[in-house]
Amino acid sequence: MDKDSKIFVAGGTGMVGSAIIRKLLQDGYTNIVSNYHRRPPAISELVPVDFHRVDLTNQAETERFFQEQKPQYVFLAAAKVGGILANDTYKAEFIYENIAIAANVIHASFRYNVSKLLNLGSSCIYPKFAPQPLKEEYLLTGPLETTNEPYALAKIAAIKLCRYYNEQYGTNFISVMPTNLYGPYDNFDLYTSHVLPALIRKFHLGKSLEGDDWEAIRHDLIKNPIEGIDGRASQKEILAVLSKYGIKGSASAPEKPSVTVELWGTGEVYREFLHVDDLADSCLFLMEKVNAWDLCRLYPKSDPAPKRIESELEVPDYFLNVGSGTDLKIKDLSNLIKIIVGFSGEIRQDPTKPDGTPKKLLDISKITRLGWRPKIGLEEGIKKTYEWYLSSGK
């Protein structure tokens, strides 16, 4: 990519898309376009970006955007995302919207001659009981985790779309499968969030209850209401909704002097986490340095005298894992976040709630062989994320 190449970051208002945009701007790229669906972004860091209102689930809108903007490079970071509860509740929306976004953007990229596309997926594409660590070749070798199967199937479909457009049309479309992500602009809604941002917020609210700090609690709820309950609600209403989400007790209530935070599952399952800025760094690395034919035998479209390329990596579906290379128990993650946030109350596990996949550690040996490694440690990343949460309007 040249510094003035037209680059489309699909989903630029989300956590991943905004991180990719920040990285592009940091590295001197000047011609970035993105989309929003319902309302323009209110992210000051993204001001240099040309945003357009486009519903990527709508094929006509998507193709019109590509026809008008003519992007040369595409980062497909748009998706409907959520944690176990959201995935298990909105199954139809998760499979439909994510398949529609992928199909529309990938097909438009082919139709309007995009030079290169990088598709963002998820580690949930792997079978529930696949061997650990998860290698790229384990795709479709067993049944998926049922709680996020609709989302996983949509992401698998996107991988296959990239593969078959490469093989039929000679496109240069690759995919990356990141592990569990966290960082600035994450979703901290307690109903739809993933585990790490949910823990940060739960412990923050728990700490505020411990200190009887109603100013902090109301400030938090003004930024991000819970089921319509915001900072203007009564203490009784606020305590009720916090209790519903496992944040129980109050320092001002003599009959309940301690505060507990209740968490879903046993806490014994393992998860790997990657700071979103590390993911953005890997995406730019791959877009600048790695082509589809570097991952598998393919005839390069740009080669005037095509020949069969011998790839050392041999990834038939043209995707790479991106992760930190280490994992930990959710129970240990909870204790780490508890310490960072400063909550001193009790953690209680609810084993009647689902754990999800028992273990999900990615094998990142292929991308490290290409020359990329993560830089941000988990403790450092959580501290930065909590600081961002406290200072942000989210």
Catalytic residues, by residue number, are 151
- Give 263's strand partners: 349
Question: Comparing C-alpha atoms, which of 149, 152, 125, 150 is closest to residue 136?
Answer: 125
> Which residues lie across from 176 on neighbouring strands?
120, 320
Residues 151, 332, 253, CA angle at the centre, nearest 5°?
100
**Is there a contact between 12 and 41 (Cβ–Cβ < 8 Å)?**
yes
Phi then psi dihedrals of residue 188, to 5 deg = -105, 15
Neighbouring residues of 97: CB distance < 8 A, sequence distance ≥ 6 = 57, 80, 154
DSSP string for residues in 143-194: PPPGGGHHHHHHHHHHHHHHHHHHHHH---EEEEEE-EEESTT----TTT--
Task: Quickly tell me which residue has 């689902």 as its tokens.
Answer: 354
Alpha-carbon distance 68 to 150, whole Å?
32
Per-residue tokens: 18: 């905004």
Which among 205, 230, 200, 225 is positioned nearest to 217, based on CA atoms? 205
Q: What tokens does 217 get?
A: 């609690």
N-to-C CA span, the chain: 33
Type of residue found at 227: E
Paired tokens of 142 = 């067993």
DSSP character at residue 256: S
Over its C-alpha atoms, the chain yields an Rg (Å, rounded) of 22
List the structure tokens of 285. 């690395």
Whether the CB-CB separation of 307 and 299 falls below 8 Å is answered with yes
Contact, 347 vs 338, CB < 8 A? yes
Identify the three-state secondary structure at position 371: coil
Residue 248 tokens, joined: 């129980």
